[in-house]
Amino acid sequence: MGGIEFLKGHGTQNDFVLLPDPDGRLELTEARVAALCDRQRGLGADGVLRVVRSAALGSEAEGSAGDWFMDYRNADGSIAEMCGNGVRVFVRYLVDTGLVAERDFVIGTRAGDRPVRMHADGSVTVQMGPATITGTSVTVVAGKPFSGVAVNVGNPHLVSVVEDDVDELDLRDQPDFDADVFPEGVNLEFINLLGEDALKMRVHERGVGETRSCGTGTVAAVAAALHLAGTDTGEATVDIPGGRVVVEVRRGGSTLTGPAEIVARGELDEAWWAGLA
């Protein structure tokens, strides 16, 4: 067929288009990414994962110890630093295709290197780096303000504890936030505390909208919950609309463990691709 290879995968129903591009030859424009992620005129996804060798990226991947770099783009085409669910799907692809033989290795991202482990059951553990509490702010959903804890997990988050069931929130529209605090936008998490080691979450992602899951968001949510409880160390399960993950937060680091699946593969029409440049 001679088209452009793609795969489709998801981690707890946070879904992605993967574009194998080991030599870094694809021109991944905002228009192309947005079209790929559009659920009416493209394949449909929450984001795009370009699979590229670190050596092919030059200065962008300089200093990375990983052979492979996850070039992640949001659904609107914007460049993003990191995606926890995306890393798991990225790892599943590399192992399933034999591009990586080891079960423990390192993935390069714009937020830094991420050590990963592929488990026999198909789940993946990602070393997510530190979850840093950076302050507080407020978000407004349908006219109702929610105070939140600001957390940086390589990308910005604002986590708000909600007394009512988070399922009752209307997240179809972009919630308001303080652009002075988050000049590059922010991922917004809304959580119910279900106990000392469990919580429920919904998320409105920067550049995407509400998604079924957000890996960095689950880490931010657990870090914020621990902070509000007066500690910075602990482990919790996080239930999101797309499933369940396990997050461990400790001083100087955090881990995210959850499933990852590859569900389809095919080829993009080259004429369609060229017309989006």
Interval 155-167: pLDDT, tens? 999 999 999 999 9
Active site residue 214: yes
- What 3-state DSSP class applies to 17? strand
- Helix ranges (H only) for 157-275 are 215-228, 270-274
Pairing outcome for strands 198-205 and 14-20: unpaired
Give backbone dihedrals phi and psi of 123, rounded to 5 degrees, phi first: -80, 165
Mean pLDDT of 118-141: 97
Please tell me whether 14 is known to bind a ligand. yes
Burial annotation 1-14 (CB, 10 A radius, 16+ → b, else e)? eeebebbbbbbbbb
pLDDT at 61: 80
Residue 207 has pLDDT above 90, yes or no: no
Out of 43-52, 60-69, 226-235, pick the least confident.
Answer: 60-69
Please tell me whether 215 is known to bind a ligand. yes
Please tell me whether 235 is known to bind a ligand. no
Please tell me whether 152 is known to bind a ligand. no
> What is the value of pTM for the model shown?
0.92
Give the chain's domains with CATH numbers.
4-123+260-274 (3.10.310.10), 132-258 (3.10.310.10)
pLDDT at 253: 96
pLDDT at 62: 81
Residue 1 has pLDDT above 60, yes or no: no
Mean pLDDT of 35-50: 97
Does an H or E element contain 33, and which? helix 30-37
Average pLDDT along the chain: 96
Active site residue 37: no
Please tell me whether 88 is known to bind a ligand. no
pLDDT at 108: 96
Nearest to 89 by CA among 112, 72, 101, 77: 72
Local confidence band at 196 (pLDDT 50, 70, 90 cut-offs): confident
Please tell me whether 85 is known to bind a ligand. yes
2 vs 216, which has greater pLDDT?
216
Mean pLDDT of 8-27: 97
pLDDT at 277: 80
Please tell me whether 231 is known to bind a ligand. no
Interval 62-115: pLDDT, tens? 888 899 999 999 999 999 889 999 999 999 999 999 999 999 999 999 999 999
Q: Which residues pair with 9 in a beta bridge?
A: 16, 262
Q: Which of 43, 45, 51, 83 is catalytic?
A: 83
Who's near 251: CB < 8 A, 6+ residues apart?
A: 232, 233
